[in-house]
Amino acid sequence: ETAAPEDAGDVAVAAPKPTPRRNDSASLAKEIAEKLTYAIGKDPATARRHDWLEAVTLAVRDRIVDHWLASNSRNVQSGAKRVCYLSMEFLIGRLLRDAIINLGLSEAVRDALSAYDVDIDLLETLEPDAALGNGGLGRLAACFAESMASVGIQGFGYGIRYVHGFFRQEIVGGEQVELPENWLAHGNPWEFERRERSFEIGFGGKVTTIEEAGKPPRQVWRPAERILAVAYDTPVVGWKGTRVNTLRLWSAQALDPILLDAFNSGDHIGALLEANRAQSITQVLYPADSHLAGQELRLRQEFFFSSASLQDIIRHHLKRNGGDLSTLPDKVSIQLNDTHPAVSVAEMMRLLVDVHGLGWDESWDITKRVFSYTNHTLLPEALETWPVNLFERLLPRQMQIIYAINAQIIREATQKGLDGAKVSAISLIDEGSGRRVRMGSLAFVGSHAINGVSALHTELMKKTVFNQFHELYPERIQNKTNGVTPRRWLLECNPGLTDLVTEAIGPGFKDDITKISGIDKLADDAGFREKFMAVKLANKQRLAKTIEERLAITVDPTAMFDVQVKRIHEYKRQFLNLVETVALYDQIRSHPEIAWQPRVKIFAGKAAPSYANAKQIIHLANDVARVINADPSVQNLLKVVFLPNYNVSLAELIMPAADLSEQISTAGLEASGTGNMKFALNGALTIGTLDGANVEMLEHIGEDNIFIFGLTAAEVAARRAEGQSGREIIDASPILKGALDSISHGVFGEPGRYNNLVDNLYGNDWWMIAADFEAYWQTQRRLDALWQDSDAWGTKAVRNTARMAWFSSDRSIREYAKDIWDAPTSV
Among 36, 60, 109, 137, interactor with ligand F58 by CB under 6 A: 137
Q: Sign of torsion, CA 577 579 583 589?
A: positive
Least Å distance between CB 262 and ligand F58?
37
Residue pair 405/443 in contact by the 8 Å Cβ criterion:
no
CB 798 within 8 A of CB 532: yes
Closest distance to ligand F58 from the beta carbon of 340 (Å): 6
The answer to whether residue 290 forms part of the interface with ligand F58 (CB under 6 A) is: yes
Closest distance to ligand F58 from the beta carbon of 691 (Å): 9
Starting at the edge strand found earlier in the chain, the sheet holding 707-708 runs 638-643, 599-604, 560-565, 660-663, 685-688, 707-708
Options 160, 228, 671, 761; binder of ligand F58; rule CB under 6 A: 671
Q: Would you count residue 673 as binding ligand F58 (CB under 6 A)?
A: yes
The site map against ligand F58 for 363-392 (x = CB under 6 A) is -------------xx----x----------
- Whichever of 480 and 803 has its CB closer to ligand F58, that residue is 480
Q: H helices of 321-343, where? A: 328-331
Q: Which is nearer to ligand F58, 140 or 163 (CB)?
A: 140
Instruction: Residue 397: name the closest of 158, 216, 224, 199 by CA.
Output: 224
Q: In angstroms, how far apart are the furthest CA atoms of the chain?
A: 95
528-587 binders of ligand F58 (CB under 6 A): none
Residue with smaller CB distance to ligand F58, 290 or 689? 290
Q: Give the nearer residue to ligand F58 in terms of CB position, either 78 or 295.
A: 295
Q: Which stretch binds ligand F58 (CB under 6 A): 400-408, 414-422, 462-470, 672-680?
A: 672-680
Measured from the CB atom, the residue of 130 and 353 that comes closer to ligand F58 is: 130
Proportion of the chain in helix, strand, coil states, percent, rounded to 5: 50, 15, 35
Q: Which is nearer to ligand F58, 140 or 370 (CB)?
A: 140
Residue 140 as a binder of ligand F58 (CB under 6 A): the answer is yes
C-alpha 766/C-alpha 747 separation (Å) is 25
Distance CA 248, CA 426 (A): 34
Q: How far is the CB of 437 from ligand F58 (least distance, A)?
A: 16
Question: Residues 690-719: x/- map of binding to ligand F58 (CB under 6 A)?
Answer: --x---------------------------
Q: Which residue is nearest to ligand F58 (CB)?
A: 136
Residue 476 CB, nearest approach to ligand F58 (Å):
19
Q: How far is CA 695 from CA 587, 718, 773, in A?
A: 31, 20, 20
Question: Roughly how many angstroms between the first and final C-alpha of the chain, as a whole number?
Answer: 27
What does the DSSP 8-state code read for residue 254?
Answer: E
Q: Rounded to the nearest whole angstrom, what is the least distance from the CB of residue 671 to ligand F58 in the complex?
A: 4
Q: Of 135-143, 247-255, 411-419, 738-746, which part binds ligand F58 (CB under 6 A)?
A: 135-143
Annotate 533-552 with b (16+ C-beta within 10 A) or e (fewer): bebbeebbeebbeebeeebe
Decide if 312 contacts 349 (C-beta within 8 A).
Answer: no
> Which range of residues in 29-37, 164-172, 590-598, 667-675 is near ligand F58 by CB under 6 A?
667-675
User: Is 135 among the residues that bind ligand F58 (CB under 6 A)?
Assistant: yes
Contact 317, 339 (CB under 8 A): no
The stretch near ligand F58 (CB under 6 A) out of 134-142, 418-426, 518-526, 721-729 is 134-142
Q: How far is the CB of 578 from ligand F58 (least distance, A)?
A: 20
Q: Tell me which residues are annotated as active site.
A: 376, 566-567, 572, 674, 678
Counting Cβ atoms within 10 Å, is residue 384 exposed (0-12), middle (13-18) or buried (19+)?
buried
Cβ contact 255:346 at 8 Å: no
Q: Which is nearer to ligand F58, 47 or 137 (CB)?
A: 137
Nearer to ligand F58, 238 or 692 (CB): 692
User: Are the C-beta atoms of residues 559 and 598 closer than 8 Å to each other?
Assistant: yes
Q: How far is the CB of 706 from ligand F58 (least distance, A)?
A: 17
Q: In angstroms, give the least distance from the CB of 73 to ligand F58.
A: 34
Restricting to residues 405-464, name those near ligand F58 by CB under 6 A: 453
Which residue stretch of 12-20, 31-39, 131-139, 401-409 sits at the interface with ligand F58 (rule: CB under 6 A)?
131-139
**Contact between 246 and ligand F58 per CB under 6 A:** no
**Shortest spacing between CB 149 and ligand F58, in angstroms:** 19
Concatenated DSSP letters for 732-801? H-HHHHHHHHHHHTTTTSSTTTTHHHHHHHHTT-TT-HHHHHHHHHHHHHHHHHHHH-HHHHHHHHHHHH
What amino acid is encoded at 551 in this protein?
L
> How many CB atoms are closer than 10 A to CB 23?
15
> Contact, 657 vs 536, CB < 8 A?
yes
Site string for ligand F58, 75-114 (x = CB under 6 A): ----------------------------------------
| Alpha-helical segments (H) within 243-295 | 260-264, 270-279
Residue closer to ligand F58 (CB basis): 39 or 698: 698
Gap between the Cα atoms of 355 and 363, Å rounded: 12
- Total number of residues binding ligand F58 (CB under 6 A)? 19
User: Smallest gap, in angstroms, from Cβ of residue 138 to ligand F58?
Assistant: 6
**Residue 670, interface with ligand F58 (CB under 6 A)?**
yes
Q: What's the min distance (Å) between Cβ of 290 and ligand F58?
A: 5
Radius of gyration of the chain (CA): 27
- 289 near ligand F58, judged by CB under 6 A: yes
d(CA 290, CA 576): 19
306 near ligand F58, rule: CB under 6 A: no
> Given the complex with ligand F58, which of 144 and 156 has the nearer CB atom?
144
Q: How far is the CA of 652 from the CAs of 129, 289, 495, 644, in angstroms?
A: 12, 21, 11, 15
Given the rule CB under 6 A, which of 319-327, 485-493, 539-547, 669-677 is the region that contacts ligand F58?
669-677
Pairing label, strands 436-438, 385-387: antiparallel
278 vs 348: CA distance, rounded Å: 23
Q: Which is nearer to ligand F58, 382 or 404 (CB)?
A: 382
Q: What CA–CA distance (Å, rounded) separates 673 from 663? A: 8
Among 115, 288, 410, 455, binds ligand F58 (CB under 6 A): 288
List 234, 629, 674, 705, residue binding ligand F58 (CB under 6 A): 674
Q: Which is nearer to ligand F58, 56 or 465 (CB)?
A: 465
Give the closest residue to 217 by CA, choosing from 208, 206, 228: 208
Residue among 644, 562, 646 nearest 176 (CA): 644
Measured at the CA of 771, the angle between CA 588 and CA 625, to 5 degrees, comes to: 35
Among residues 253 and 665, whose Cβ is nearest to ligand F58?
665
Give me the least distance between CB of 85 and ligand F58, in Å please: 13
DSSP-derived 3-state class of residue 584: helix
DSSP three-state, residue 249: strand
Q: Which residue in 478, 340, 514, 460 sits closest to 821, CA to CA?
A: 478
Q: Which of 136, 159, 235, 486 binds ligand F58 (CB under 6 A)?
A: 136
How many other C-beta atoms are found inside a 10 Å radius of the C-beta of residue 220? 12
Which residues of the chain form contacts with ligand F58 (CB under 6 A)? 134-137, 140, 288-290, 376-377, 382, 453, 482, 670-674, 692
